[in-house]
Amino acid sequence: MIRTQAILLKNGRIIDPANRVDKKASLLVEKGKIQAIFSPRQKTPSLPKKLQSIDLQGKWIVPGLIDMHVHLREPGEEYKETIETGTKAAAAGGFTAVACMPNTTPVNDCQSVTRLILEKAENAYARVYPVGAISKGLQGESLAEFGEMKQAGAVAVTDDGKPVTDSQLMRRALEYASNYNLMVISHSEDYSLSRNGAINEGFVSTSMGLKGIPHIAEEIMVYRDLALAEYTGCTLHLAHISTKESINLIRLAKQKGSPVTAETGPHYFSLTEKAVKDYNTNAKMNPPLRTQKDLEAVIKAISDGTIDVIATDHAPHSILEKDLEFDQAANGIIGLETAVPLALALFRKGYINAARLVELLSTNPAKILGVKGGSLEIGSDADIAVIDPEHSFVLHEKDIVSKSKNSPFIGVKLQGKALLTICGGRITYNAISD
Ligand code: DOR
Ligand code: ZN
């Protein structure tokens, strides 16, 4: 990683919804902090002698993106991804921070694993916020050590990858977590309905001869967890929302004033179940890709505020888990390096404006997780992404930074890209040719 003294990002479009800023200006980074923002008409502040100056005409300068749903696979499955490779992929996607899920080996259900992750992340390419498990060993039986994990640096708890089947355990998790100011993240799935399913249940699953996962498997658990959040008064975050009826339920809960937030992944507003034709295991994930009707509902929820966050659910798997019969292949796709162009497609089609895009990918995840970043406040740590909204490219497997290559977007032409990522004043990714 290159260390930089001072960087001047010149004449970009600064988009910082937290401070209601959207203007053409320059931004000075010095000593790891955002030192000044000044528009062309304003007086240039005194600049340090040794300065790396980058012209960013036509580019966006935004707060570093924050992905609140990432599987880094370390400890335990380092052949798929490590904290180093995963954060390097994050930086290449414009992210300066990621929250990493606890379904590692061993599971992050106690302070020693949380500490290990944070130690390994010290020299990583992005800030890493560990998310602890709700239940010990993700077994769904007894609560993990929330207090210890919080003290060690965990920002939230979840059994992501698995549902918490026992409603009493989920209720206790909400109550217990709120004592420690920990966010509970729900992986909403009724396992008795989804078990052994490979893709969304419907015409496509029937015609492909695959067992389906009905959309109601998600919605029943979304409903249960919304009801528990309302009953306990504790905050809840719903992960990877993929169906129209889940969205209707979240919208109603929010109207009632429930303390809930929700995320979706870029794949749920970019692809439908049809992407699994030809039995492409790189389009297999849990929850599965849904129908056009669901995709449209997800987009509407993104634009009307029902969905608060775009999070990738970056889930690296090697060919050992993916190069198999469809129903045997692992669930999950990588997402860190394609989130920006996929979110930008929503902007280009007019569903969201630029400020909303930044809210979804930075401001809101920072707020929900209660972590630094999410704004370009003067004096704050310089966590910044520079995005070229015009840059078109075809995603080639050889260009993927993540250790795993399980993306359904390989060979697809995408538009928009992170060009430069700065984390705490250090350049963590630089694709600007000068
Ligand atoms: O597709 C998925 N992959 N969904 C999950 O819930 C877990 C994740 C993984 O860990 O691979
Ligand atoms: Zn996940």
DSSP character string of 312-324: --B----HHHHSS
Predicted confidence at residue 5, as pLDDT, reads 78
Ligand 1 centroid distance, CA of 394 (Å): 26
Residue 156, token pair as written in the block: 């939230």
Ligand 1 centroid distance, CA of 334 (Å): 10
Predicted confidence at residue 40, as pLDDT, reads 84
User: Distance (Å, rounded) from C-alpha 143 to C-alpha 139?
Assistant: 9
Radius of gyration for the alpha carbons in the chain, expressed in angstroms and rounded: 21
Pairing of strands 309-310, 183-186: unpaired
Predicted confidence at residue 414, as pLDDT, reads 98
Ligand 2 centroid distance, CA of 202 (Å): 24
User: Does ligand 1 have an atom closer than 6 angstroms to the CB of 315?
Assistant: yes
Predicted confidence at residue 4, as pLDDT, reads 58
User: Domain segments of the chain: what residues?
Assistant: 6-61+380-430, 64-369
Say yes or no to pLDDT of 188 above 70: yes
- Three-state SS at 174: helix
- For 6-61+380-430, the fitting CATH number among 3.30.365.10, 3.40.640.10, 2.30.40.10, 3.40.50.10140 is 2.30.40.10
- Three-state SS at 287: coil
**Residue 192 CB contacts under 8 Å (≥ 6 apart), including other chains:** none
Q: Which of 225, 308, 313, 383 is catalytic?
A: 313
User: Does ligand 1 have an atom closer than 6 angstroms to the CB of 331?
Assistant: yes
pLDDT in tens, 18-27: 999 999 999 9
Residue 130, token pair as written in the block: 């560990």
Other Cβ atoms closer than 10 A to 397: 9
Lowest average pLDDT, out of 2-11, 42-51, 333-342, goes to 2-11
Share above pLDDT 70 across residues of the chain, in percent, rounded to a whole number: 99
Predicted confidence at residue 327, as pLDDT, reads 96
Atom number, ligand 1, closest to the C-alpha of residue 317 = 11
Q: How many CA atoms lie within 13 A of 203 on its CB side?
A: 4
127: nearest Cα among 177, 181, 79, 68: 68
The mean per-residue pLDDT over the stretch 315-340 comes to 98
In DSSP terms, 43 is beta-bridged to none
User: Does ligand 1 have an atom closer than 6 angstroms to the CB of 160?
Assistant: yes
- For 64-369, the fitting CATH number among 3.40.190.10, 3.40.50.300, 3.40.640.10, 3.20.20.140 is 3.20.20.140
User: Distance (Å, rounded) from C-alpha 174 to C-alpha 218?
Assistant: 19
Residue with tokens 């992404």: 385
DSSP for 379-411, please give it. Answer: TSB--EEEEEEEEEEE--GGG--SS----TTTT
pLDDT in tens, 249-277: 999 999 999 999 999 999 999 999 999 98
User: Does ligand 1 have an atom closer than 6 angstroms to the CB of 404?
Assistant: no
What average pLDDT does the chain have? Answer: 97
- The separation between the first and the last C-alpha atoms of the chain, rounded to the nearest angstrom, is 19
76: nearest Cα among 113, 127, 112: 113
Pairing of strands 6-16, 52-55: parallel
Residue 164, token pair as written in the block: 């918490």
- Three-state SS at 184: strand
Question: Active site includes 313?
Answer: yes
Q: Where are the alpha helices (DSSP H) in 199-338?
A: 203-208, 215-232, 244-255, 266-270, 292-304, 319-322
pLDDT in tens, 137-148: 999 999 999 999
Give the DSSP letter of residue 194.
Answer: H
Spatial contact of 75 and 112, defined as CB atoms under 8 Å apart: no
Kindly report the protein residue whose alpha carbon is nearest to atom 5 of ligand 1.
Answer: 161
Spatial contact of 425 and 382, defined as CB atoms under 8 Å apart: yes
The mean per-residue pLDDT over the stretch 66-75 comes to 98
The mean per-residue pLDDT over the stretch 65-74 comes to 99
- Three-state SS at 12: strand
Predicted confidence at residue 156, as pLDDT, reads 98
Residue with tokens 């198999």: 324
Predicted confidence at residue 41, as pLDDT, reads 86
What is the best residue among 103, 134, 407 to mutate for testing ligand 1's pocket, by most ligand atoms within 8 Å of CB? 103
What is the best residue among 71, 131, 218, 221 to mutate for testing ligand 1's pocket, by most ligand atoms within 8 Å of CB? 71
Q: Which amino acid is at 273?
A: E
User: Does ligand 1 have an atom closer than 6 angstroms to the CB of 96?
Assistant: no
User: Does ligand 1 have an atom closer than 6 angstroms to the CB of 221?
Assistant: no
Q: What pTM value is reported for the model? A: 0.98
Q: Which amino acid is at 403?
A: K
Kindly report the protein residue whose alpha carbon is nearest to atom 3 of ligand 1.
Answer: 332
The mean per-residue pLDDT over the stretch 190-217 comes to 97
Kindly report the protein residue whose alpha carbon is nearest to atom 4 of ligand 1.
Answer: 286
User: Does ligand 1 have an atom closer than 6 angstroms to the CB of 103?
Assistant: yes
What is the best residue among 72, 79, 160 to mutate for testing ligand 1's pocket, by most ligand atoms within 8 Å of CB? 160
User: Distance (Å, rounded) from C-alpha 346 to C-alpha 65?
Assistant: 17
Predicted confidence at residue 181, as pLDDT, reads 95
CB burial class (10 A; 0-12, 13-18, 19+) of residue 57? exposed
pLDDT in tens, 309-325: 999 999 999 999 999 99
Q: Quick one: pLDDT band at residue 44, thresholds 50, 70, 90?
A: confident
Predicted confidence at residue 3, as pLDDT, reads 56
User: Distance (Å, rounded) from C-alpha 18 to C-alpha 362?
Assistant: 10
Spatial contact of 387 and 95, defined as CB atoms under 8 Å apart: no
Say yes or no to pLDDT of 371 above 80: yes
Atom number, ligand 1, closest to the C-alpha of residue 332 = 1
Atom number, ligand 1, closest to the C-alpha of residue 239 = 6
pLDDT in tens, 274-310: 999 899 999 999 999 999 999 999 999 999 999 999 9
pLDDT in tens, 117-128: 999 999 999 999
Spatial contact of 68 and 109, defined as CB atoms under 8 Å apart: no
